[in-house]
Amino acid sequence: MPSNTLNITVIQPDIVWENKQTNLANYESSITSITDKKEVIVLPEMFSTGFSMNTAEMAETMDGPTVNWMKQITRDHKCILTGSIIIREGDNYYNRMLWVQPDGVVYHYDKRHLFAYADEHNHYTPGDKRLIVSVKGFRICLMVCYDLRFPVWARNLDEAYDVLLYVANWPEKRSIAWRTLLQARAIENMSYVVGVNRVGKDMKGLNYIGDSSVFGPLGEMIFQVSNSEAIQTITLEKEVVEATRAQLPFLKDADKFIIL
């Protein structure tokens, strides 16, 4: 049934490089420790491996161990779990964000904008469609990391969503862009924006400070955490989005176009 509130639990981890077993064990411990009501739990981009181009060894199929682990977690904790992993389908590899429900239903979004600066475009196949999921009356648009830099792809056409959700491995040296663009996406789309990132250092020597954040539909900061692992539950209110759009109907003046 629809509800006025939705709990989003952000997990900001230090990912152990290409060590799925350790990472999944750490997440399971973190999820078990959550004392707030579990509804939607968000892990970062490539949460089981780090931002790896080692597709030959790290990729799994949709019936592989990580997807099955996610299904088990959602059944055990009666919650939704989301984040991206490396998926293989035929000869193609995808940076795929999964939305796993406790009823066993799995939706997915394949990262549209591949990060050529890190050679991602030579290892992965880009997605070609957006995904908006629904839970408790909230409509949530799923996005991955570099997608954040491309506002047209995220544009909230016809008020299609209430929450814009990004998962990422976004390094410290570009953290100003991360924080600024998350806030900008909230303002221009008049929606909640949730961005979930990692901390620590990867095997490429890149440092991550997290800055996992939640912004409201006017760009107001609701939550942000930096420089440490964190688990935090934030309660979103549907009435805040509805009241903001009713009072300030800016989206109705937006340019009309079609995202193919």
Burial 233-244 (b: 16+ CB within 10 A, else e): bbebebebbeeb
Sites in the chain below the pLDDT cut of 70: 1-3, 260
| Cα separations in angstroms, 33 against 9, 12, 30, 210 | 12, 14, 5, 20
Task: Write out the catalytic residue numbers.
Answer: 45, 111, 145
- Predicted local distance difference test score (pLDDT) of residue 256: 87
- Predicted local distance difference test score (pLDDT) of residue 259: 77
- Predicted local distance difference test score (pLDDT) of residue 1: 41
- Predicted local distance difference test score (pLDDT) of residue 257: 86
Per residue in 85-94, pLDDT tens? 999 999 999 9
Domain ranges in the chain are: 7-253
In whole angstroms, how large is the CA radius of gyration of the chain?
A: 17
- Predicted local distance difference test score (pLDDT) of residue 3: 62
Task: Specify whether the CB–CB gap between 164 and 156 falls below 8 A.
Answer: yes
Which is nearest to 226 in space by CA: 184, 183, 197? 197
- Give the domain 7-253 fold: Nitrilase/N-carbamoyl-D-aminoacid amidohydrolase (3.60.110)
Per residue in 228-257, pLDDT tens? 999 999 999 999 999 999 999 999 999 988
